[in-house]
Amino acid sequence: MARSATPRTSAAPPRASLPADVRLMNTVATAVYVAAGVGAVVAGVLWLMRSPLLPIRAIQLDGDLARNSVPTIRANAAPLLVGNFFSVDLQQGRAAFETVPWVRRAVVRRVWPDRLAVRLEEHRAAALWEGSDRNSSADRLVNSFGEVFEANVGDVEDDGLPVFAGPEGAAAQMLALYRRLQGALARLELGVVRVELSGRGSWRVDLDSGAALELGRGSEEELMARSERFVRTYTQVVAKWQQPLIYADLRHADGYAVRLQGVSTSPAGGTAAAAARNN
């Protein structure tokens, strides 16, 4: 039998390598095309950022709006926004909205194609801030986080807020103690209308009954221990003398002294001190 012959294919000749100058020219040309493309993209972005096209046409407001109206917020913040949809600085936008009275915090984001969405958190007033100057006329308040902020005090004049008088930076500490005192004194149907912290760290509280409590210095727990002792024994003292409280000094280690309408006692031999020690 005859065998079929399989044709042999000759190997392809090796491709000749390009000259070095040609390879260099190709590399340079590729680099130029890439640079031109990147430049075009950058130029396009810069054009969009400066272009009057794509302006911000609407501002959507959400969140707490109890103290401000939408028109008021827009009128105060919108003039401070610079740029179009792409170029507006969101951090600057946040700062612009936070300059509006009563706004504590703002979160700003873009919504395609022409809106800004702004979520607002307003201050919730917890006290009037007098600071350490009784003659200060600044409209300053303390919010529910213990932060001091500026707003129109007339907006809260009917809210029955207490007054805090103390050094700058002490508002949060004063708010914490106020809340605990309110809870303790509520058992006597008394309320706190003023909390005062001296520069030396001494505390004094005025009550809605017209009485004053001298708490002295110490940690919050020490102050509350003295206050709780007073609350436990106060009704016994008042019941005995049948006179309203004017002043109580809680700074004594073994009791407290009170001044009632027409009656005075002291820890050394007074009724109030004995009541405090025995309970």
pLDDT for 189-223, tens place per residue?
999 999 999 999 999 999 999 999 999 999 999 99
224-258 tens-digit pLDDT:
999 999 999 998 888 888 889 999 999 987 889 99
Query: Is residue 271 over pLDDT 50?
Result: no
Q: What is the mean pLDDT of residues 106-118?
A: 94
pLDDT of residue 3 exceeding 60, the answer is no
User: So what's the pLDDT on residue 273?
Assistant: 43
Instruction: Give the DSSP letter of residue 160.
Output: -
What's the CATH fold of domain 58-122? Ubiquitin-like (UB roll) (3.10.20)
Q: Which residues contact 181 (CB under 8 A, 6 or more apart)?
A: 192, 195, 205, 224, 227
Is the pLDDT at 165 greater than 90? The verdict is yes
Coil, strand or helix: which one is 218?
Answer: coil
Confidence of residue 276 (pLDDT cuts 50, 70, 90): very low
Query: Considering the chain, what percentage of its residues have pLDDT values greater than 90?
Result: 55
**Mean pLDDT value across the chain:** 83
Residue ranges covered by each domain of the chain:
58-122, 125-277
Q: Which residue has the higher pLDDT, 137 or 160?
A: 160
For tokens 């740029």, the residue is 83
What is the rounded distance in angstroms from the CA atom of residue 231 to the CA atom of residue 255?
12
Nearest to 94 by CA among 85, 86, 102, 103: 103
Place of tokens 């031109």: 36
Cα–Cα distances (Å) from 146 to 121, 149, 166, 172, in that order, read 15, 10, 13, 4
Q: Select the more confidently predicted residue: 53 or 97.
A: 97
- Could you say which architecture CATH assigns to the domain 125-277? 3-Layer(aba) Sandwich (3.40)
pLDDT at site 247: 95
What's the pLDDT at 47?
A: 47
Nearest to 96 by CA among 83, 114, 113: 83
Residues 151-168 have a mean pLDDT of: 93
Q: Are strands 192-197 and 203-207 parallel, antiparallel or unpaired?
A: antiparallel
> What residues form DSSP beta bridges with 143?
125
Cis previous bond, 71, omega within 30: no
